[in-house]
């Protein structure tokens, strides 16, 4: 065991959990109507708790329990055989389990942004649980767990390059989000502006800081690669923030706070798959392009495709993750065959499995609340609480 590496990943684990709670919850919560903010917090918090338990029971074993082509099996269900002295490389295996658990938490939590303000709480829990086990965990195994898309797999000696989750996290969550939003249908109050842009900014700031653990920690060591990953993550986020704001001003005459922080997230998502291989200048290019590309994707989904992906999960995370994955090949750090092939294989599986799970879950629990509940807000109708009591 390497003590320095262990200490670093302990901190990285806390940082990635900090991304979900409270970072993502605040970011999403500020974007919705005031009468739905607690429901967003509830979704993020409940998903974090549920995914943690499921990761212990089945998820970790499916993703990292063995080196089969398709899945890791059930050999490490409930961490059977794993003790405090067990190692995964130079790290205690229980720490590797915990670090990867935070990824399994945030990935289905990202999907929350697509269905807020109208989704049934039971559907959120059931779909998130099944989706993590059927989509996320197998894909994590294919790329990170020695599966069919890793080095020596179906694409030959050089497999799919995805340092921290451009495919495993962002492509899968983005595609699933688009599908849920499509099946669910649009909100009845689509034009209502974010109720608290300041909350959005605070959440984005927490995500930015937490992303250092997300990308830097994916080196799984306290070394130069981790340091470079943190540096390029920051630079890409900065470049995307500026390019989003500049493009917004060119197109609409002014730059908004919600816009610039959404650009930050686009830059972070786009650098995620490449952060272990690119340098600072390449990171600036990725971020600058992502700020414009993801903004145009937002407009495309909302105005042309007309899917109410409420908080732009696909346009920011899906498009950003796909773009960053392709830039690995463009900058010569991976092969085009593996990068394109990996995106295609994972994309097809995600679409097919997610659609099946949406339909299955809808048979068990209502996917959408009734009209009265949606109009009154999910805070009261689903959870019996108000975020703001102006009479108290």
- Domain holding 21: CATH number? 1.10.3430.10
* Average pLDDT, integer, range 198-206: 99
Cα–Cα distance for residue pair 26/206, rounded to 1 Å? 9
CA 107 to chain centre: 4
Rounded distance between C-alpha atoms, residue 190 and residue 73, angstroms: 43
As a whole number of angstroms, the distance between CA 52 and CA 123 comes to: 18
Mean pLDDT of 98-126: 98
CA–CA separation, 289 and 266 (whole Å): 10
The least confident of 13-27, 183-197, 368-382 is 183-197
pLDDT of residue 190: 78
Domain membership of residue 391 (yes or no) is no
Place of tokens 């919705």: 32
The H-assigned helical ranges of 19-136 are 25-31, 37-54, 60-64, 93-115, 121-131
What is the number of structural domains in the chain? Answer: 1
Among candidate residues 329, 310, 359, the one with its CA nearest the CA of residue 131: 359
Q: Looking at the predicted structure, is the pLDDT value of residue 35 above 60?
A: yes
| Residue 117 maps to a domain | yes
Residue 43 within a domain = yes
Residue 98 pLDDT class (50, 70, 90 cuts): very high
pLDDT surpassing 70 at residue 392: no
Position 161 in a domain: yes
Helix axes 336-364, 172-184, angle to 10 degrees: 40
pLDDT beyond 90 at 390? no
Give 47-90 pLDDT, tens digit per residue.
999 999 999 999 999 999 998 999 999 999 999 999 999 999 99
Residue 208 inside a domain? The answer is yes
- Within a domain: residue 250? yes
pLDDT score at 34: 95
379 close to 36: Cβ distance less than 8 angstroms: yes
Show Cβ contacts of residue 186 under 8 Å, excluding neighbours closer than 6 positions: 306, 307, 308
CA 190, distance to chain mean position in Å, is 23
What's the average model confidence in pLDDT over 147-173?
97
Residue 280's pLDDT band, with cuts at 50, 70 and 90, is: very high
pLDDT in tens, 264-277: 999 999 999 999 99
Average pLDDT value over all residues in the chain: 97
Report the C-alpha gap between 43 and 389 in whole angstroms.
21
Please compute the mean of the pLDDT values over residues 179-185 and round it to a whole number. Answer: 97
> What pLDDT, on a 0 to 100 scale, did the predictor assign at position 192?
83
Specify whether the CB–CB gap between 277 and 301 falls below 8 A.
no
What is the C-alpha to C-alpha distance for residues 132 and 328, in angstroms, rounded to an integer? Answer: 26
CA 110 to chain centre: 5
294 touches 315 (CB < 8 A):
yes
| Average confidence (pLDDT) over 3-20 | 98
Entry pTM: 0.97
Q: What is the 8-class DSSP label of residue 163?
A: S
Alpha helices in 192-335 (DSSP H): 197-211, 224-252, 257-271, 280-299, 313, 319-330
Say if strands 91-92 and 87-88 run parallel, antiparallel, or are unpaired. Answer: antiparallel
| Residue 364 DSSP SS3 | helix
Residues 229, 165: Cα–Cα separation, whole Å: 13
How many other C-beta atoms can be found within 10 angstroms of the C-beta atom of residue 363?
7
- Residue 348's pLDDT band (boundaries 50, 70, 90)? very high
**Range of the structural domain that residue 269 is part of:** 3-383
Q: Which uninterrupted H or E stretch holds 87? A: strand 87-88
- H or E element in which residue 91 lies: strand 91-92
User: Residue 262's closest CA among 305, 285, 296, 228?
Assistant: 296
Closest Cα partner for 268 from 295, 248, 239, 246?
Answer: 239
**Residue 184: exposed, middle, or buried by beta-carbon count in 10 A (0-12, 13-18, 19+)?**
buried
Residues 6+ apart with CB under 8 A from 315: 174, 294, 297, 298, 300, 301, 309
In a domain, 390, yes or no: no
Mean pLDDT of 316-328: 99
- Residue 119's region, left for phi above 0, alpha for psi from -120 to 50, else beta, is beta
Q: Is there a contact between 177 and 113 (Cβ–Cβ < 8 Å)?
A: yes
pLDDT at position 293, please?
99
392 lies in some domain: no
pLDDT at 189: 80
Of 30, 369, 360, 347, nearest to 193 by C-alpha is: 30
Is residue 191 over pLDDT 80? no
Angle at 232 between CA 227 and CA 236, to 5 degrees: 155
Q: Which pair of structure tokens corresponds to residue 306?
A: 């007309």
């Amino acid at each position: 065991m390497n003590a320095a590496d262990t200490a670093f990943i302990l901190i990285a684990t806390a940082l990635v959990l900090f991304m979900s709670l409270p970072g993502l919850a605040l970011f999403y919560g500020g974007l919705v109507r005031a009468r739905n903010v607690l429901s967003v917090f509830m979704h993020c918090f409940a998903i974090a708790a549920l995914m943690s338990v499921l990761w212990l029971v089945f998820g970790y074993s499916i993703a990292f329990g063995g080196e089969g082509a398709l899945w890791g099996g059930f050999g490490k269900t409930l961490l059977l055989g794993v003790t405090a002295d067990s190692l995964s490389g130079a790290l205690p295996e229980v720490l590797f389990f915990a670090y990867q658990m935070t990824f399994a938490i945030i990935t289905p939590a990202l999907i929350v942004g697509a269905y807020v303000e109208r989704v049934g709480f039971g559907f959120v829990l059931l779909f998130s649980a099944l989706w993590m086990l059927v989509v996320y965990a197998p894909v994590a195994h294919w790329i990170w767990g020695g599966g069919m898309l890793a080095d020596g797999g179906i694409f030959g000696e050089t497999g799919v390059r995805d340092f921290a989750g451009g495919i495993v996290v962002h492509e899968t969550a983005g595609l699933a989000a688009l599908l849920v939003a499509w099946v669910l249908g649009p909100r009845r109050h689509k034009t209502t502006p974010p109720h608290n842009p300041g909350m959005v900014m605070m959440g984005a700031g927490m995500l930015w800081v937490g992303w250092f653990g997300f990308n830097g920690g994916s080196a799984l060591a306290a070394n130069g690669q981790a340091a470079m990953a943190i540096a390029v993550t920051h630079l890409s986020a900065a470049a995307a923030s500026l390019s989003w704001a500049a493009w917004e001003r060119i197109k609409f005459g002014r730059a908004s706070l919600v816009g610039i922080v959404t650009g930050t997230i686009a830059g972070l998502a786009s650098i995620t798959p490449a952060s272990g291989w690119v340098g600072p200048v390449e990171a600036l290019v990725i971020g600058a392009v992502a700020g414009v590309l993801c903004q145009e994707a937002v407009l495309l989904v909302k105005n042309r495709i007309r899917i109410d992906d409420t908080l732009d999960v696909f346009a920011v995370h899906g498009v950003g993750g796909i773009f960053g994955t392709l830039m690995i090949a463009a900058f010569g750090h991976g092969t085009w065959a593996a990068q394109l092939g990996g995106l295609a294989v994972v994309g097809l599986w995600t679409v097919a499995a997610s659609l099946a799970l949406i339909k299955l879950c809808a048979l068990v629990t209502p996917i959408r609340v009734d009209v009265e509940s949606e109009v009154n807000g999910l805070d009261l109708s689903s959870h019996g609480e108000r975020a703001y009591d102006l009479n108290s």
